[in-house]
Structure 1
């Protein structure tokens, strides 16, 4: 039971950091926050994603390209140009590393207006940090796992951030229903997206990329949006009017 609680906590904390900080803030600036809170959530990102930390700058560049070139050959991660999800993940990782290491420069339209914290970026992208987090996950399982099959979950901890992205980009552009004709293959995979905290409303999101609520029909539910409303009410963030 302890292992399953730990797994679910890691899954949803990492996922919240990705959808709230990397996606809705770093990539789209759906809300504003003071420098203190930006650094606070930057640290939450580092800790919650752990060994699979994703750099906000590189993530934002790739995501903005994804919107501009959705499901075309210039899309960094459209499932319609790969044989399987693993091929898509490898290609996305290679492009991500090129931007992370400044090997290539993005188009001007995709640059700027994303959070940067060089010290935390160096820590999160270091092998020392990734190894330390991996050893922590292994040690936790050694201490508390009471069945051998629970160790099958360990690779998910190691690759949590990229795995979330792969599920969203593969399923969200192949499986589900469409509310809008976006001239791409974006889909809403789940009407109540508790599994990916709203990220699987890809069709809605591509129609209204700056809307903080990824649900658009009365019967759809984006679990991250009420959290954002509470943070807005607490004056931790200020949601942009769309």
Structure 2
């Protein structure tokens, strides 16, 4: 039971900071936060994503490119241009790394106000950091796993962030329902998105990219947005007024 709780904590903790910080803040700037709050969130993102830590800079730019070029040859990840989900993940990894290492030119519109903490990212993205987390996860499983099948959860812990990404970027463009007819394949995966904390309302998000709340219909509860509203109320962040879609 301890291992299951541990993996669930990583799943929802890593997912929250990917959605809250990397997606809604770094990529879409739907709210603002102080520099201190931003640095705290960088560190919490590293703690919960661990071995699969993603840079806000690389993620933010790549996601903006995804919205600008959705389902075209320039899209960093699209089921229409990748043979399978593993090919898409590998392509996405290469583009993400090239952006972070400044190996490819990036238009100014994709870099505007994207948060970056170079010194911290250098450490958090390093092999030392990733192997440290891998060692911690393996040690935790050795201490608390009580059945052989629990070890099947270890790869999920190690690759949490890419798994979150592929669920939305692959399956969220193939399966589900549409609230809005778009010039792309985006779908809403779940009527009530408990698994992905609102990220599964992908069709809604492509229609209204600048909205903090990804839910549109009454039953589409965006659990990340609920937390965002709480953080806005206590002053940790400041939500921006809803504007037209980006």
Give TM-score scaled by structure 1 length: 0.98
Q: Residue in 2 aligned with 1:145?
A: 145
Q: Residue in 1 aligned with 2:171?
A: 171
Superimposed CA distance per residue, residues 6-48 of structure 1 (whole angstroms, 9 cap, x where no aligned partner): 0100100000010000000000000011111111111001111
Q: Map 1:77-116 to 2 at 5 A.
A: 77-116=77-116
CA distance in 1, matches of 2:75, 2:119: 30
CA distance in 1, matches of 2:4, 2:149: 12
**Are the counterparts in 2 of residues 30 and 211 from structure 1 also a CA contact under 8 Å?**
yes
Superimposed CA distance per residue, residues 66-104 of structure 1 (whole angstroms, 9 cap, x where no aligned partner): 001111111110112122110100010011111111111
Tell me whether 1:238 sits opposite 2:241 in the alignment.
Answer: no
Report SS of the residue matched to 2:10. helix
**Are the counterparts in 1 of residues 175 and 187 from structure 2 also a CA contact under 8 Å?**
yes
CA distance in 1, matches of 2:111, 2:100: 13
**Are the counterparts in 2 of residues 171 and 200 from structure 1 also a CA contact under 8 Å?**
no
Q: CA deviation at 1:138?
A: 0.2
CA distance in 2, matches of 1:107, 1:119: 23
Unaligned runs of 5+ in 1: none
Superimposed CA distance per residue, residues 105-133 of structure 1 (whole angstroms, 9 cap, x where no aligned partner): 21222112111111210111110100000
Q: Map 1:197-208 to 2 at 5 A.
A: 197-208=197-208
Q: Residue in 1 aligned with 2:68?
A: 68
Superimposed CA distance per residue, residues 136-187 of structure 1 (whole angstroms, 9 cap, x where no aligned partner): 0000000000101111111111111111111110111110110111211100
Superimposed CA distance per residue, residues 218-238 of structure 1 (whole angstroms, 9 cap, x where no aligned partner): 121111111011001101111
Alignment coverage as a number of residue pairs: 242
CA distance in 1, matches of 2:236, 2:159: 30
**Are the counterparts in 1 of residues 61 and 114 from structure 2 also a CA contact under 8 Å?**
no
Unaligned runs of 5+ in 2: none
Runs of 4+ in 1 over 2 A off after TM superposition: none
CA distance in 2, matches of 1:168, 1:232: 26
CA distance in 2, matches of 1:30, 1:86: 31
CA distance in 2, matches of 1:118, 1:96: 15
CA distance in 1, matches of 2:219, 2:96: 36
CA distance in 1, matches of 2:152, 2:240: 42
RMSD: 0.8
Give TM-score scaled by structure 2 length: 0.97
Q: Residue in 1 aligned with 2:3?
A: 3
